[in-house]
């Protein structure tokens, strides 16, 4: 839920900021800023809650801790890449693929009732997917409309 608040909150403040500084609202720039802020925010979890996030991965996946760190760095790189004109389109496409690929880990974590922040199995469970799956679709659509298109 926190990443959604970051995405929408930063988007609204960016819209206001572009209106104040450019005398017109810049939806596209605001969308990029919001997605970048959300990616930087979520990347923090990869470094703060590494142990818990590693439990989101299926048992057959090796090097779980390294993979959690790698995906955190991927989010940071994407947050930067969407502002580099020559990389923007490819970054957007790769982000969409990334969002699709991480969805199964979120589903598995919900099935296991994993609370990745504590690393315990006392999380919200399947009910969390009523939020997570639509949010993942929102991120994919957001990336397409503000970055790729």
pLDDT digits (tens, 9 = 90+) for 74-113: 999 999 999 999 999 999 999 999 999 999 999 999 999 9
Say if CB 134 and CB 1 are below 8 A apart. Answer: no
| Distance in Å from the first CA to the final CA of the chain | 26
pLDDT at 56: 94
Mean pLDDT of the chain: 96
Percent of the residues in the chain that have a pLDDT greater than 70, as a whole number: 100
Q: Is 113 left (phi over 0), alpha (psi -120 to 50) or beta?
A: left
Task: Quote the longest CA-to-CA distance of the chain.
Answer: 54
DSSP string, 64-128: HHHHHHHHHHHHHHHHHHTTSHHHHHHHHHHHHHHHHHHHHHHHHHHHTT-BTTTTBS-S-GGGG
Domain ranges of the chain: 2-148
């Amino acid at each position: 839920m926190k990443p959604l608040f970051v995405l929408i909150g930063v988007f609204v403040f960016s819209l206001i900021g572009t209106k104040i500084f450019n005398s017109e609202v810049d939806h596209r720039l605001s969308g990029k800023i919001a997605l970048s802020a959300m990616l930087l925010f979520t990347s923090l979890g990869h470094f703060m809650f590494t142990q818990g996030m590693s439990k989101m991965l299926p048992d057959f996946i090796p090097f779980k801790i390294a993979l959690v760190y790698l995906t955190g760095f991927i989010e940071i790189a994407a947050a930067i890449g969407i502002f580099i004109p020559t990389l923007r389109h490819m970054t957007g496409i790769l982000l969409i693929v990334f969002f699709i690929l991480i969805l199964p880990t979120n589903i598995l974590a919900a099935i296991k009732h994993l609370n990745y922040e504590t690393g315990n199995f006392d999380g919200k469970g399947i009910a969390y997917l009523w939020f997570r799956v639509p949010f993942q679709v929102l991120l994919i659509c957001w990336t397409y409309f503000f970055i790729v298109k």
